[in-house]
Amino acid sequence: MIHELEHTKYALDHSAIVALTDKTGKIKYVNDKFVEISGYSREELIGKTHRVINSQYHSADFMKNLWKTILSGNIWKGEIRNKTKNGKYYWVDTTITPLLDEKGKPEQFIAIHYDITKLKDLEKQKDEFIGIASHELKTPVTSLKGYAQVLRKRFIKDGNKVAVSYMDKMDSQINKLSFLIQDLLDVTKIETGKLQFHTEIIDMNHLVKEILETMQLTTEKHLIVTQGKIKHAVFGDRERIGQVMINLISNAIKYSPKSDKIHVLLSSDTNTVKICIKDYGVGIPKEKQKHVFKRFYRVSGAKEDTFPGLGLGLYISAEIIKRHQGDMSVESTTGEGSTFCFILPTYNSTV
């Protein structure tokens, strides 16, 4: 048994960065990989907390959540950015396991880290590329739209109906392209912390009515029916909240090709406003529902070809709602349909 433990430790020390701390977080042991990556000597680390390698990157909430998790005896997993002795940053994928005493209270913590700095660098490069590419695409698409409109007017003047109908099709494809580019730009803004809001008091019934009227024009098949009323105003970015509704209704239309109805359910109390978009479409399997708000996530399967998209709309929408101190959720049954809801604090509850 002792042999096996020694072998496990030997293997672990060769693959991972390991630290053992007491219950206050003071380092009692570090392996060679920890010493190597941090640039500190063993003597400089023992007796100190992980604060020595703190890079000031993570929020107070992030750290509070980490400590709350491990102090209550649970395992914490996540990605942490640290700083070496000579000031260089490195990222680690971390698992912290509390070792409990006989009363079930954490006595020590084992932190096992894996170096993911290269992966993070690649991710950063990818984000930068998306940012530059979408920015560069925006100008030609805008000018394409302008010229298409000029041509359309010419064809109308000439009475060329066939050409006008082609121009309409072209315009709707250009609009699709613009939306894709806008989504990519929004993702870049989210990733770089540059998504800004222009806040005002919003009459939600008015906003819902406006959005539904516009969205109804985009579908001949589906009837979008509202149920309920919102009795309270919201304080936030009208355009961005409208964008969330457009995303959810577009998805409801896109993912329910065989049904002809979409319900928009409205409700509110003194503290929260709730809006749900219910469709009777393909639905989302249970195990995939928790992933749909992630960046670039698409439910894979045969329908991937049927329904085009980048897997960004829900990620952007959830971020917009989160930044308004709200929350977004989904309930869905495969083959029966999905209901996407979001709640927002009322204006009264925020003043």
Question: What is the closest distance, in whole angstroms, from the C-beta atom of residue 51 to ligand ADP in the complex?
Answer: 38
Alpha carbon distance 101, 51 (integer Å): 25
Cβ proximity of 278 and 272 under 8 Å: no
Query: What x/- string results for residues 281 through 320 when contact with ligand ADP is judged by CB under 6 A?
Result: xxxx-------x----xxx---------xxxxxxx-----
Tokens (6 digits) for 60: 């107070």
Q: With respect to ligand ADP, which residue has the nearer C-beta, 4 or 287? A: 287
Residue 87 zone, left/alpha/beta (φ > 0; ψ -120 to 50; rest): left
Asked if residue 276 binds ligand ADP (CB under 6 A), the reply is: no
Q: With respect to ligand ADP, which residue has the nearer C-beta, 186 or 279? A: 279
Site for ligand ADP in 163-222 (CB under 6 A): none
Cβ proximity of 25 and 50 under 8 Å: yes
Asked if residue 243 binds ligand ADP (CB under 6 A), the reply is: no
Asked if residue 18 binds ligand ADP (CB under 6 A), the reply is: no
Alpha carbon distance 187, 180 (integer Å): 11
Asked if residue 280 binds ligand ADP (CB under 6 A), the reply is: no
Q: With respect to ligand ADP, which residue has the nearer C-beta, 312 or 320? A: 312
β-partners of residue 17 are 113
Q: With respect to ligand ADP, which residue has the nearer C-beta, 292 or 344? A: 292
SS3 of residue 114 by DSSP? strand
Q: Chain-centre distance of CA 33, in angstroms?
A: 33
Q: With respect to ligand ADP, which residue has the nearer C-beta, 114 or 297? A: 297
Alpha carbon distance 306, 290 (integer Å): 22
Q: Where on the chain is the footprint of ligand ADP (CB under 6 A)?
A: 251-252, 255, 279, 281-284, 292, 297-299, 309-315, 338
